Structure 1
Amino acid sequence: MNDTLTPDVVGRRVSVNGECATVRFHGTVPPVAGLWLGVEWDNPERGKHDGSHEGTVYFKCSHPTGGSFIRPHKANFGVDFLTALRDRYEDEPEDDAKKQIVTIGNIPVETIGFGSVIKKQSQLSELRDISLRSCAVSCAGDKGDIASTCPNIRVVNLSQNLLSAWEEVTGIAEQLRHLEVLDLSENKLQFPPGSPAPVGTFSALKVLVLNRTGITWAEVLHCAQGWPALEELYLKSNNISISERPADVLQLVRLLDLSSNQSIDENQLFLIAYLPRLERLILGDVGISSLHFPDAGVGCKTAMFPSLQSLVLDDNRISQWSFINELDKLQSLHSLSCLRNPLTVGSEAKTHLQFIIAKIGQLRTLNRCEVGATAGVFEARKQVTENAKDTVFEYCGGRQTWLSFRDPPGGAARGRAGLPEGVREGVERGGWAPGSRPGQAQRGVPGRPPQIPSPLPHGLWITIHRFLFLK
């Protein structure tokens, strides 16, 4: 790149010796002669200052050491989409040893240029899945060239490139009519304040990855008007705050990844609680510590997140059982991951995981493991607590609760509760605590603690005993 750049380079993305940055300034920096570019590095440790020199502020950085001045000829402003595609897919030598698998969302994509793969996809017009990660793509190129050269592409990885504006993305996408999966991670994009992409640009798009792009929630909702078929949306590490409810957008989204957005709290989550198709929500490392569904009391189900089956809460600040109790109010929750939370680490971690299984009656998977393989607790819950939990008893707030069950004629109560034979007492909520004398009256009602029949292993009874009586 020569030193005769125009001022419109400000805002563009550049690469310098493999490090990416955004141009924040173009001009002279006295007393040194010549033109300079002031850049803000993606990696602030690469810089030297905050955009000022000898007391004069030339540009601003978000980090005090994120800026540098460089000569224009040292900056690589990137290449267009087709140039990168040809460099990657036409000129690669055959070498099976270089085979790589890149995951876009949940879809593994084999990068091309290796042995039999290059033979299969030697013709650009036949390409369907491509990865141009870190290929310095900065623009779409001449209009129509992509559509005429590689019209069958369905999966594109454009992560860690030099795209600086959403308009360049739409310029690429509008020529790929079959595009279903698009990864734009680590492109610092500017999103348009005006109209969204032309109708039909992203008509087939099902998976969109926007991790570390700097997008805001308002920009998500604005652009989402052009994503009518979107099913998976990844928004990791964007410092997002959910500011408003999605209205007539994102209605088909089944998976939403909001991990590593530290500004999100429980009140913001309620704004997305009525997405009708949302089945999997990823909230790892958002800093959440509390949760309460105001529309549902103890033992009731919330109307929020009606389709949510899988919830990821790894690396948060969950330390109270009240949080876990609230999760049992979710209608469809079957899978939970809560690794590396205060409640699930330490010497009591294994016992606490058993409590979580007992408290959330419908769990099938906990921390990516089948519940049935977790210390036998699943069988105990099936026999004693799974159905009874919703139909007969409540447990919340660490309150000591003793419940026994009376059989009306025909044993209907026992059947509804899923209880084993031999449990035949009245339903009571009272002060019975571990160590009370069997047969002791409960609030004036004669009775005795239910006797767990011999087929239930003693160790599992201990687990249930703790579930009922311990915080």
Structure 2
Amino acid sequence: MVSRVDERPPKITPNVLNGTECGRIKSPDVSLIGRRVVHDEHFGTIRYVGGLPGSTCQWLGVDWDNPSRGRHDGNYRGVQYFHASTATSGSFVRPEKVSLGTSLEEALVYRYVLCAECQLSASLNPSETSSVDKDRADPRRMLFQPTDSPGRLSALMGASLDPDSLEYCGMSNESERPIRIELFTTPANSQDPVQHRSCGPQGAEAVLKYLRTATFTLVPVYRALRGLPSPEKASLWPQLGGTLGHYLPNLTELDLSGCLVSRWKEVAEIGIQLPWLRSLNLSSNHLRLPLFLASPSGGAETGDAEQTLRVKYDLDTHPNDEKLFSQAFPNVCCLVLVRSLFLDWPGLLRIIKWMPSLKSLTVAYNQLGDLPTNLDVDTVHAFRRLVELDLTATGTNELGYLFSILGPSTVLDTLLLSQNPIAAFPELPVSPEAVHSDGPFAPSIWFQALTTLNMKSTAFTNWHPIKQLLRLHKLEQLTFSDCPVLEDLTIETARQELIARLPHVSCINRIQVCPDERRGAELDYLKRYGAIWRSSGGAPTGTGPGLVDNKNVITMSSDFAQEHPVFVKLCSKWGVPDDGESKEEWKESEGT
């Protein structure tokens, strides 16, 4: 354990988690509608800006993410000023009571440069704590020790630095009980016994130049500091705005999930400073795309319509800024937009065109519906450059057009379609020559690089999708469960069916298939369907239109052959099942 005793007065550091000066609302106007705000680490969306009866001040109508933070649905004294998402998530607040958030630059210093004492003292704002808590939150009265998690420290706060006092936790006096808190900070900083030369903005360049991944999940970041022509300055950032690239020469992954970013223009202003950025996570944000109106409504008679538009769209970005978007993400190859409010296919197709290097796209848990038809050539090419596509829980229903766009791709490796109401699986095309020679195992000319496919919780009622997967010879991993076709089977039997029906798939439902498990599944499959095969006219030997392989000549009805395309291969591998024959007898006769 490393202890510090520093007799300097505690530094005053802004609490980034409640917003900083750059997020202060100075002149409330209609452009704030749709913006995100933070108060006491709770997030909300501004849906109304204006006056209220009996008041001469401007008020903000806020729809809080946590419904318990509000009081009503936007109705005040019989007038519906805005529509909250629930009956209790709305409230009116004064502009000075909330903040738009903090800048990315200040969040970088707060999270990755500040020492543990300053970070903790900032998060425990003395003005909001009791006198006892103020004393305990004094950074000079804390112990710090590294934890098992990289980049984290464990802070013990107590009324004394005496180890005996800190270790004794059974006292009735609550003020003497130590509190353990984990902080995200640089472990090296915690080793510095007294000096704080590298703590704060003065240490930004030395620390941030090595940063490759930056994560700000649920931190109220809402934009970067403004650069030229009117650059901003912030107390936690060593230079003026517009200098992210200088301090982050190695940053390739940026996670802004669950932040307060509400306009794509602000994302682009970050991206333009970091052209080497490769991975961008913007999940769980209320991001609005620019909507360029010929004559934006501003009159009182159309105020309600404009207010509704502003919640969903950015009406303040100029059309000339479209060039900024197309230049801001030249090397972004991985984009994550899980649970992104307002995301739809037209908007997503627009975003994709801004990212010429995009290889991995995750848009799970957005109600997109089916891919629009008649895509332009550039969009089709963008989809066929993807290596990974995650459409989990997007409301996808029809696969025909989607597969016609993705199928010809020679690079698509992973396709995730789980939790969608998909009931029909398209026929995968094969070359005529392959059909004649390989039958149901003929390789498809589509999805030739696909190795991973997820189709959990879909609406398939038969085995047709699984039979089509026999044509995907590169397929290695399949997730297929919670589907109607499996509902009458136990979990164990369903897994055996999948293993036996897909001889080339090595991982099913995230569990590797070992040789012994495959052997047992295939033997059980033959036993399960052997009687049906015989009753439908199947026989071990025969003449005429039989199915022939290297070891066996068997006959079967066309219906059985269509329903069980792997049966003949399994007979070749394990022998033809006789009436009443047991698995033990098959094992003994293996190879005969």
Tell me if TM exceeds 0.5. Answer: yes
Pairs within 5 Å for 1:179-328: 179-193=277-291, 195=322, 197-214=324-341, 215-241=343-369, 242-244=371-373, 245=375, 246-267=379-400, 269-270=402-403, 272-274=405-407, 276=409, 277-293=411-427, 295=429, 299=440, 302-328=444-470
Correspondence for 2:212: 128
Correspondence for 2:147: 97
Residue identity matched to 1:158: L
Cα distance in 2 for residues equivalent to 1:457 and 1:188: 61
Correspondence for 1:75: 98
Residue identity matched to 1:250: F
Residue identity matched to 1:182: L
Cα distance in 2 for residues equivalent to 1:331 and 1:218: 34
Cα distance in 1 for residues equivalent to 2:558 and 2:486: 30
Q: CA deviation at 1:89?
A: 1.4
Asked whether 1:174 is paired with 2:272, we answer: yes
Cα distance in 1 for residues equivalent to 2:406 and 2:497: 26
Alpha-carbon deviations, 1:411-458, whole Å to 9, x = none? x9533xxx4xxx3x354426999xxxxxxxxxxxxxxxx7459xx981
Cα distance in 2 for residues equivalent to 1:451 and 1:294: 30
**Is the 2:507–2:513 Cα contact (8 Å) retained in structure 1?**
yes
Give the structure-2-normalised TM-score: 0.61
Q: Which moved further from structure 2: 186-195 or 135-144?
A: 186-195
Cα distance in 2 for residues equivalent to 1:293 and 1:365: 23
Residue identity matched to 2:381: D
Alpha-carbon deviations, 1:125-145, whole Å to 9, x = none? 222222122221111113322
**Is the 1:163–1:169 Cα contact (8 Å) retained in structure 2?**
yes
Correspondence for 2:36: 13
Q: Which moved further from structure 2: 292-301 or 190-199?
A: 292-301
Q: CA deviation at 1:34?
A: 2.7
Asked whether 1:402 is paired with 2:535, we answer: no
Q: Which moved further from structure 2: 157-166 or 399-408?
A: 399-408
Cα distance in 2 for residues equivalent to 1:66 and 1:378: 56
Correspondence for 2:187: 115
Alpha-carbon RMSD across the aligned residues, in angstroms, is 4.0
Q: CA deviation at 1:262?
A: 2.9
Residue identity matched to 1:60: H
Cα distance in 2 for residues equivalent to 1:400 and 1:117: 76
Cα distance in 1 for residues equivalent to 2:384 and 2:559: 48
Q: CA deviation at 1:77?
A: 0.8
Alpha-carbon deviations, 1:121-175, whole Å to 9, x = none? 9522222222122221111113322122222211111111110111111111111
Residues 306 and 91 (structure 1), Cα distance of their counterparts in 2 relative to 1, 3 Å cut? same
Correspondence for 2:261: 163
Which of the residues 30, 35, 40 maps onto 2:53?
30
**SS at structure 2 position matched to 1:23:** strand
**SS at structure 1 position matched to 2:407:** coil
**Is the 1:357–1:377 Cα contact (8 Å) retained in structure 2?**
no
Pairs within 5 Å for 1:425-436: 425-429=553-557
**Is the 1:405–1:413 Cα contact (8 Å) retained in structure 2?**
no
Q: CA deviation at 1:85?
A: 0.6
**SS at structure 1 position matched to 2:147:** helix
Structure 2: runs of 5+ lacking an equivalent: 1-23, 117-143, 153-182, 192-202, 228-241, 292-318, 527-531, 562-574, 588-592
Q: CA deviation at 1:25?
A: 0.9
Q: Which moved further from structure 2: 275-284 or 179-188?
A: 275-284
Q: CA deviation at 1:305?
A: 3.3
Q: Which moved further from structure 2: 212-221 or 242-251?
A: 242-251
Correspondence for 1:350: 492
Cα distance in 1 for residues equivalent to 2:98 and 2:380: 42
**SS at structure 2 position matched to 1:350:** helix
Residues 8 and 431 (structure 1), Cα distance of their counterparts in 2 relative to 1, 3 Å cut? closer
Residues 237 and 174 (structure 1), Cα distance of their counterparts in 2 relative to 1, 3 Å cut? same
Cα distance in 2 for residues equivalent to 1:286 and 1:210: 17
**SS at structure 1 position matched to 2:289:** coil
**Is the 2:548–2:554 Cα contact (8 Å) retained in structure 1?**
no
Cα distance in 1 for residues equivalent to 2:336 and 2:346: 17
Residue identity matched to 1:125: K
Cα distance in 2 for residues equivalent to 1:63 and 1:311: 37
Q: Which moved further from structure 2: 169-178 or 325-334?
A: 325-334
Give the structure-1-normalised TM-score: 0.75
Q: CA deviation at 1:407?
A: 10
Cα distance in 2 for residues equivalent to 1:13 and 1:373: 54
Correspondence for 2:511: 369
Q: CA deviation at 1:229?
A: 1.6
Cα distance in 1 for residues equivalent to 2:86 and 2:372: 25
Q: CA deviation at 1:261?
A: 1.7
Q: Which moved further from structure 2: 61-70 or 205-214?
A: 61-70
Cα distance in 2 for residues equivalent to 1:284 and 1:256: 12
CA radius of gyration, larger in:
2
Identity %: 25
Cα distance in 1 for residues equivalent to 2:287 and 2:501: 44
**SS at structure 1 position matched to 2:280:** strand
